[in-house]
């Protein structure tokens, strides 16, 4: 059996990757366990040297990797290059700071000396999605390999080329055998991997459904896990904001990665006094987005990654319209090759409509009118998700007060939500738990060991 890569711009298959059979999977699990026994004792200096080499190779191979991402999931080529650069930055960041993040801490207890050590756990199994096929993996691998763990990657079925390239990347950088490997497996086999006693933790970025399944299985085997799941981020536009700046960033926040981002702005909540002006400006800016070949440097909006995803999004749009939303832009399946969906604007939305009640994973923006700030916060929190939120207001003091009321793992004031290796990233509610990146992220898969000395 095998998995195929299909170019979403043409709907044509262009590569095939065989699945791991039982013997191949066992070899990789054994290599990981053996690799950890050596890697855990490797100095931070040596780990940093190798991780910095990964950063160098990412930059050297930027065009190769960008083209691969674009071919496999349709990301506009300029955004693909930016993703590679962000990966390189993150590798260099953890190469520089991991030893400080994990330095043994001295404490006092009953007049005696106490040490807090941060020891690696072992093999960590990463289940990663297709939408940021390099970034999602690197933001897992960079901190946790620097902590002394080893990684097993199960990538999405439509990102086989990226999975292969990432495996080769760490090998070419000089990482020892077993420290980072890619698995080509199906969901049923992934369950076996989580249950395997050689696997000590699980990191998943994916759907809420997948998160619940992984959490249940990890819990049954008493293994820690980090879950970064869906999001339906509110973008709150208050009457006192810089409206031009808000509109400009609303387009970026919704359309980035062809609208296929967990932290994309999805629910636009606008105060009544600026609602009409916002909708007018937003409409004009979205209409100017150029949809086309993602390898074209001028393309703003490429195809969606798969046809089933496009159809699911279109169904959400049609249901929302039936529920009373007005579609003022897009909303129709184009008669072209590939899995394209146009920039779509739904207005006069409310919390009962599909476009507000569920996550829309594609280039669809839904706008709701609210009377005042308190109504905006109430609507923003009226969701099972809690990943990110964006607040636009002239007063940063006011914005900080409102941020306290937002139920999310990240709140941006006068900016869009984005991940940063220096800051913790993750959500609450159905958006998952645990944190990635920063010192908070690197501590997710270590044993915080107390050593007491009389």
Dihedral pair phi/psi, residue 311, rounded to 5°: -65, -40
CA distances from 43 to 47, 91, 146, 347, 447 (A): 6, 17, 10, 56, 18
- Catalytic hit among 228, 271, 358, 436: 228
**10 Å Cβ neighbour count for 408?**
25
The yes-or-no answer on residue 228 being catalytic is yes
Gap between the terminal Cα atoms of the chain? 59
Residues 402-444: tens digit of each pLDDT: 999 999 999 999 999 999 999 999 999 999 999 999 999 999 9
Mind giving me the DSSP string for 142-190? HHHHHTT-EEEEE--GGGHHHHHHHHHHHHHTTPPTTSEEEE---HHHH
Predicted pLDDT at 111: 74
- Catalytic hit among 87, 91, 262, 349: 262
Predicted pLDDT at 50: 99
Check the CA dihedral 168-174-177-181 and report its sign.
negative
Distance CA 235, CA 417 (A): 9
User: Cβ distance 228 to 425 under 8 Å?
Assistant: yes
Predicted pLDDT at 100: 98
Predicted pLDDT at 402: 98
Residues 79-103: tens digit of each pLDDT: 999 999 999 999 999 999 999 999 9
Distance CA 170, CA 418 (A): 26
User: Cβ distance 231 to 388 under 8 Å?
Assistant: yes
Contacts of 279 (CB under 8 A, 6+ apart): 270, 328, 345, 347, 367
Distance CA 450, CA 105 (A): 10
Dihedral pair phi/psi, residue 307, rounded to 5°: -70, -35
Tokens at 11, concatenated: 């709907």
Residues 155-202: tens digit of each pLDDT: 999 999 999 999 999 999 999 999 999 999 999 999 999 999 999 999
Grouped pLDDT means (10 residues each) for the chain, 454 residues: 94 97 98 98 98 99 98 98 98 98 93 93 98 98 99 97 98 98 96 98 97 98 98 98 98 98 98 98 98 98 98 98 98 96 98 98 98 98 98 97 98 98 98 98 98 92
Pinpoint the residues of the chain covered by CATH 3.40.605.10: 2-229+431-453
The yes-or-no answer on residue 241 being catalytic is no
Distance CA 229, CA 210 (A): 8
Q: Find where tokens 């009953």 sit.
A: 110
Entry pTM: 0.97
* 2-229+431-453 maps to CATH 3.40.605.10: yes
CATH architecture classification, 233-413: 3-Layer(aba) Sandwich (3.40)
Distance CA 326, CA 239 (A): 23
Predicted pLDDT at 1: 80
**10 Å Cβ neighbour count for 444?**
21
Q: Report the SS3 class of residue 138.
A: helix
């Amino acid at each position: 059996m095998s998995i195929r890569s299909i170019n979403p711009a043409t709907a044509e298959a262009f590569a095939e990757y065989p699945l791991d059979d039982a013997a191949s999977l066992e070899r990789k699990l054994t290599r990981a366990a053996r690799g950890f026994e050596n890697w855990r004792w490797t100095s931070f200096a040596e780990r940093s040297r190798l991780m910095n080499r990964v950063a160098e190779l990412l930059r050297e191979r930027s065009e190769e990797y960008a083209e691969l991402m674009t071919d496999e999931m349709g990301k506009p080529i300029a955004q693909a290059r930016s993703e590679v650069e962000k990966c390189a930055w993150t590798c260099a960041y953890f190469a520089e700071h991991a030893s400080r993040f994990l330095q043994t801490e001295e404490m006092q207890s009953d007049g005696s000396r106490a040490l807090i050590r941060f020891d690696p756990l072992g093999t960590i199994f990463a289940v990663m999605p297709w939408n940021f096929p390099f970034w999602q993996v690197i933001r897992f691998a960079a901190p946790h390999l620097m902590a002394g763990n080893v990684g097993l990657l199960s990538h999405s079925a439509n990102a086989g080329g990226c999975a292969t390239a990432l495996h080769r990347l760490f090998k070419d950088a000089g990482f020892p055998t077993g420290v980072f490997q890619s698995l080509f497996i199906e969901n049923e086999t992934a369950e076996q991997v989580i249950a395997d006693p050689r696997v000590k933790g699980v990191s998943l970025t994916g759907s809420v459904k997948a998160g619940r399944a992984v959490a249940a299985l990890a819990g049954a085997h008493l293994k820690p896990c980090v879950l970064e799941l869906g999001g339906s981020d509110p973008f709150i536009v208050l009457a006192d904001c810089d409206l031009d700046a808000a509109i400009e960033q609303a387009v970026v926040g919704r359309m980035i990665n062809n609208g296929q981002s967990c932290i994309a702005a999805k629910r636009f909540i606008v105060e009544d006094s600026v609602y009409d002006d916002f909708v007018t400006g937003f409409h004009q800016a979205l209409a100017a987005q150029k949809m086309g070949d993602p390898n074209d440097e001028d393309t703003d909006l490429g195809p969606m990654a798969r046809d089933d995803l496009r159809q699911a999004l279109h169904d959400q749009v049609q249901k929302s319209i039936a529920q009373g939303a007005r579609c003022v832009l897009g909303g129709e399946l184009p008669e072209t090759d590939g899995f394209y969906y146009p920039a779509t604007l739904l207005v006069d939305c409310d919390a009962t409509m599909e476009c507000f009640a569920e996550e829309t994973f594609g280039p669809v923006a839904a706008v709701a009118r609210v009377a005042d700030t308190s109504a905006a916060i109430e609507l923003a929190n009226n969701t099972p998700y809690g990943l990110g939120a964006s607040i636009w207001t002239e007063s940063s003091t006011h914005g900080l007060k409102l941020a306290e009321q937002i139920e999310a793992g990240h709140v941006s004031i006068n900016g869009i939500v984005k991940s940063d290796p220096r800051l913790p990233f993750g959500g609450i509610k159905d958006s998952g738990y645990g944190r990635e990146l920063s010192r908070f992220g690197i501590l997710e898969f270590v044993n915080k060991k107390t050593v007491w000395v009389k």
